[in-house]
């Protein structure tokens, strides 16, 4: 089976009804917003607004052990402070557990799930190619009462899509990724499952996110396929790194963004996005002025061709 997912669940006309562009930013509340996340938020915001579309924020708070109390509100406050105003009340994944369970039940009915007892450490010791599960528990029978994760069978399926920045991408389920964990042993729903369901249910047409998630997209398309969802259109951004070339992330202790000079920060990020902002924008009193310019001049085709760029 070969599926070219392009252009997908895109803004345009479906059955004569106009579907407007709907984009989203989906932070995990594991700490304050850092420059790398603000860069992603800004690009997805500009892409949506430049097309007259809606822009939503979703709080990806399923990984409860990693959540930091108050981080969700702090992230929303920071976005506001930079003028990144969203439409609609933000959805919280932690309120949607019944919906994820419903999808799991559907996948189970299709005989696509199996309980897995393998520990992450045990698999890591085998030094398997990235993400490829060797199928130890796939056809094993054991009492479901034992603590287990739930895995989704990776049936050989070719998946392809046209990324708006990175170009044509092809993946093969079973070769590029193995049987996927969809529910962890600690009962936490995996990001891969939740993101696909949420983007579909929220009618997201366009996803603009960090290039580090490019390789995850094959898994998302696979799930879209099994759940009967039209995939969104994707644009994966060059990864923003620090001076040493490491991705800016909470794991690398990237600093929280300084909201005291929002226009200056936005100007820097527009430079990172290769949008050639005029220098005077940096000194604007209101971030809204910078954003108005950026929406009008948003040119995603100008994004750097490099996969990683240094924060200035």
Name the residue nearer to ligand GLU (CB basis): 206 or 290. Answer: 206
60-96 b/e (C-beta count within 10 Å ≥ 16 → b): bbbbeeebeeebbebbbebbeebbbebeeebbebbeb
What mask, x for binding ligand GLU by CB under 6 A, covers residues 186 to 225? ---------x-------------x---x------------
As measured in angstroms, the least distance from the Cβ of 195 to ligand GLU is 5
Determine the Cα–Cα distance for residues 115 and 148; give it in Å rounded to an integer: 6
Nearer Cβ to ligand GLU (61/176): 61
Q: Are 293 and 69 in contact (CB under 8 A)?
A: no
CB of 197 to ligand GLU, least distance (A): 12
What are 250's two structure tokens? 């909470």
For residue 82, give the nearest of 28, 45, 54 by alpha carbon. 45
Tell me how many residues contact ligand GLU (CB under 6 A).
7
CA 215 distance to own-chain centroid = 11
Give min distance, CB of 62 to ligand GLU, in A. Answer: 9
d(Cα 126, Cα 70) in Å, to the nearest integer? 39
Closer residue to ligand GLU, CB minimum distance, 92 or 297: 92
For ligand GLU, the nearest residue by Cβ is 60
Nearer to ligand GLU, 35 or 118 (CB): 35
The SS3 call for residue 279 is helix
Nearer to ligand GLU, 34 or 209 (CB): 209
Cβ atoms within 10 Å of 174's Cβ, excluding its own: 17
For the CB of residue 212, give the shortest distance to ligand GLU in the complex, in Å. 8
Q: Nearest approach, Cβ of 164 to ligand GLU (angstroms)?
A: 15
The C-alpha atoms of residue 202 and residue 194 are separated, in whole angstroms, by: 12
What the block records as the tokens of 176 is 């590029």
- Partnered with residue 115 across adjacent β-strands are 150
**Residue 2: CB atoms within 10 Å:** 9
Q: Does 74 bind ligand GLU (CB under 6 A)?
A: no
Among 28, 54, 67, 263, binds ligand GLU (CB under 6 A): 28
149: closest CA among 179, 128, 176?
179
- Among residues 5, 11, 22, 27, which is the contact residue for ligand GLU, using CB under 6 A? 27
Q: How far is the CB of 166 from ligand GLU (least distance, A)?
A: 15
Q: Is 136 exposed, middle or buried (0-12, 13-18, 19+ CB in 10 A)?
A: middle
Least distance CB 17 / ligand GLU (angstroms): 26
Considering only 11, 26, 75, 152, the residue that binds ligand GLU (CB under 6 A) is 26
Our CB check for ligand GLU shows the closer of 27 and 231 to be 27
Q: Within 43-72, which residues bind ligand GLU (CB under 6 A)?
A: 60
| CB of 30 vs ligand GLU, minimal distance in Å | 8
Q: Which stretch binds ligand GLU (CB under 6 A): 22-30, 112-120, 152-160, 261-269?
A: 22-30
Q: Distance between CA atoms of 38 and 36, rounded to whole angstroms?
A: 6
**Binding footprint of ligand GLU on the chain (CB under 6 A):** 26-28, 60, 195, 209, 213
């Amino acid at each position: 089976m070969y599926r070219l997912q392009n252009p997908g669940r895109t803004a345009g006309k479906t059955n004569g009804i106009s579907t407007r562009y709907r984009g989203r930013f989906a932070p995990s509340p594991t700490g304050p917003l850092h420059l790398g996340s603000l860069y992603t938020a800004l690009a997805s915001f500009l892409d949506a607004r430049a097309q007259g579309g809606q822009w939503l924020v979703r709080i990806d708070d399923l990984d409860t052990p990693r959540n930091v109390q108050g981080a969700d509100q702090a992230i929303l406050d920071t976005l506001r402070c930079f003028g990144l105003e969203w439409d609609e009340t933000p959805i919280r994944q932690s309120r949607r557990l019944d919906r994820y369970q419903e999808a799991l039940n559907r996948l189970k009915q299709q005989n696509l799930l199996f309980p897995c007892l393998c520990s992450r450490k045990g698999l890591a010791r085998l030094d398997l190619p990235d993400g490829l599960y060797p199928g130890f528990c796939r056809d094993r029978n054991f009492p479901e009462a034992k603590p287990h994760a739930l895995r989704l069978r990776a049936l050989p399926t070719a998946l392809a899509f046209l990324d708006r920045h990175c170009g044509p991408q092809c993946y093969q389920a079973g070769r590029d990724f193995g049987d996927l964990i969809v529910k962890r042993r600690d009962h936490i729903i995996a990001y891969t499952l939740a993101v696909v369901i949420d983007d579909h249910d929220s009618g997201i047409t366009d996803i603009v996110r960090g290039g580090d998630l490019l390789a995850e997209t094959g898994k998302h398309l696979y799930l879209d396929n099994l759940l009967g969802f039209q995939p969104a259109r994707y644009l994966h951004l060059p990864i923003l790194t620090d001076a040493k070339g490491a991705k800016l992330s909470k794991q690398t202790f990237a600093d929280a963004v300084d909201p005291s000079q929002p226009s200056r920060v936005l100007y820097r990020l527009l430079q990172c996005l290769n949008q050639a902002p005029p220098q005077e924008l940096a000194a604007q009193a209101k971030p809204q002025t910078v954003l108005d310019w950026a929406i009008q001049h948003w040119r995603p085709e100008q994004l750097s061709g490099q996969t990683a760029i240094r924060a200035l």
